[in-house]
């Protein structure tokens, strides 16, 4: 099976101690069974410390320190598991983050999630989001599908990439082509939905309630909104297993883009480094909560 990715994927490399929003802070990192066995059987003294730092129930995971840090994050923001044992002793989640995968009729697609600061920076700086390349092969068979969402997904990405249209024209064409209108649901109902979601950080709930479909971003910010919309389309429309699901997932993408737009405008974020933390908050609170994603998709039925 072939594995494909957007062209910008190969630019990613963890920036480690330079990261201002470490994925090793505030997250309970689950440990897969195979890696748990490696920690248990490894003879290196530090492996014993690692094994002791893992809560075994309900799902094995690293017990966070009182400050919310992973117990294996050193004072320089570096991973002590890597420095003592090597990257092969990272659990699967730590190895893969911020990658995500989608099965398609052509093989596996991999992407970078925008909860990661550096991944977000790369995506917002890349205008080749509608171009893909083969990054790997493995021996796994390709799954069979009754419906292929990729041609329509790529059609949407090509509209977003067009140079002869402005931001509003692109949104309008996509809305018309797929009969999707975020504005058909009132801002009040969208805010009620946002208020009902589960939050890791309650301050984000208050932040998200600035949502409105009426914000019109300035020209200099539109390029970032186009690229984040393209990211959402790549990540979610690929999951569709029917034309109706394409519309549903596309509605999710357009809602998330409007949420990002609302945050940028309400906070008057004027540059990329001010925009990135706002996108990270959306990703952490919504993309990494299946319950929250399902709630939004349900409202789009």
Query: What are 107-157's pLDDT values in tens digits?
Result: 999 999 999 999 999 999 999 999 999 998 887 888 889 999 999 999 999
Same domain, 108 and 178: no
Q: What is the pLDDT of residue 67?
A: 87
pLDDT in tens, 261-286: 999 999 999 899 999 999 999 999 99
Structure token pair of residue 125: 């700086």
Note whether residue 108 is domain-resident.
Answer: yes
CB 138 within 8 A of CB 223: no
22 has pLDDT over 80: no
Residues 6+ apart with CB under 8 A from 259: 194, 208, 211, 282, 286
Q: Which residue has the tokens 């349900």?
A: 298
User: Percentage of the chain with pLDDT > 90?
Assistant: 77
Q: What is the pLDDT of residue 163?
A: 95
Per-residue pLDDT, 109: 96
Q: What is the mean pLDDT of residues 258-263?
A: 96
Same domain, 237 and 157: yes
Q: Are residues 111 and 212 in the same domain?
A: no
User: Is residue 26's pLDDT more than 80?
Assistant: no
- Domain contains 180: yes
pLDDT band at 93 (very low <50, low <70, confident <90, very high): confident
Which residue is listed with tokens 């906070």? 267
More confident residue, 236 or 184: 236
What pLDDT score does 217 carry? 84
Task: Place 20 in a pLDDT band, splitting at 50, 70 and 90.
Answer: confident
92, 106: one domain: no
pLDDT, tens digit, 9 for 90 and up, residues 180-203: 888 889 999 999 999 999 998 999
Into how many domains does the chain fold? 3
Q: How confident is the model at residue 236 (pLDDT cuts 50, 70, 90)?
A: very high
Nearest alpha carbon to residue 260 among 299, 204, 298, 201: 204
Q: What is the C-alpha separation between 230 and 123, in angstroms, rounded? A: 9
* Mean pLDDT of the residues in the chain: 92
Q: How confident is the model over 31-53, as pLDDT tens digits?
A: 999 999 999 999 999 999 999 99
Q: Are residues 116 and 159 in the same domain?
A: no
Higher pLDDT, 153 or 14: 153
With respect to residue 142, please indicate whether it lies within any of the assigned structural domains.
no
Choice between 234 and 77, residue whose per-residue pLDDT is larger: 234
Share of the chain above pLDDT 70, in %: 99
Residues 286 and 183 in one domain: yes
Domain that holds residue 292: 150-299
Give the pLDDT confidence of 151-162 residue by residue, as tens digits: 999 999 999 999
Percentages helix, strand, coil for the chain (3-state, rounded to 5) are 55, 10, 35
Regarding whether 127 and 79 lie in a shared domain, the answer is no
The CA distance from 72 to 289, in Å, is 25
**187 and 74, same structural domain?**
no
- Burial class (CB within 10 angstroms; exposed 0-12, middle 13-18, buried 19+) of 126: middle
Residue 113 contacts residue 6 (beta carbons within 8 Å):
no
- Greatest C-alpha distance within the chain: 62
Is the same domain home to 35 and 115? no
Structure tokens given for 144: 């069979």
Q: Do 112 and 128 lie in a common domain?
A: yes
């Amino acid at each position: 099976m072939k594995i494909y990715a957007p062209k910008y994927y190969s630019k990613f490399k963890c920036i480690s101690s330079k990261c201002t929003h470490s994925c090793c802070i505030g997250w309970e990192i689950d440990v897969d069974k195979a890696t748990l066995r490696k920690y248990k059987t490894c003879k290196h003294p530090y492996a014993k410390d690692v094994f002791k730092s893992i809560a075994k129930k309900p799902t094995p995971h690293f017990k966070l320190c009182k400050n919310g840090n992973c117990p294996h994050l050193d004072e320089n923001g570096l991973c002590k598991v890597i420095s003592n044992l090597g990257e092969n002793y990272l659990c699967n989640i730590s190895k893969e983050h911020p990658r995500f995968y989608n099965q398609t009729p052509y093989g596996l697609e991999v992407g970078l999630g925008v909860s990661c600061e550096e991944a977000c920076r790369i995506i917002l700086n890349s205008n080749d989001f509608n171009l893909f390349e083969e990054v790997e092969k493995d021996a796994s068979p390709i799954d069979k599908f009754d419906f292929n969402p990729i041609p329509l997904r790529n059609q949407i990405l090509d509209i977003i990439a067009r140079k002869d249209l402005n931001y509003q024209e692109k949104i309008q064409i996509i809305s018309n082509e797929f009969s999707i209108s975020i504005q058909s649901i009132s801002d009040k109902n969208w805010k009620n939905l946002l208020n009902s979601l589960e939050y890791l950080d309650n301050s984000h709930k208050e932040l998200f309630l600035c949502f409105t479909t009426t914000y019109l971003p300035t020209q200099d910010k539109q390029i970032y909104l186009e690229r984040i919309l393209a990211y959402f389309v790549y990540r979610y429309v690929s999951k569709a297993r029917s034309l109706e699901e394409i519309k549903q997932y596309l509605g999710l993408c357009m809602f998330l883009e409007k949420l990002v737009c609302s945050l940028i405008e309400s906070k008057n974020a004027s540059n990329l480094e001010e925009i990135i933390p706002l996108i990270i908050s959306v990703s952490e609170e919504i993309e990494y909560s299946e319950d929250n994603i399902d709630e939004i998709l349900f409202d789009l039925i």
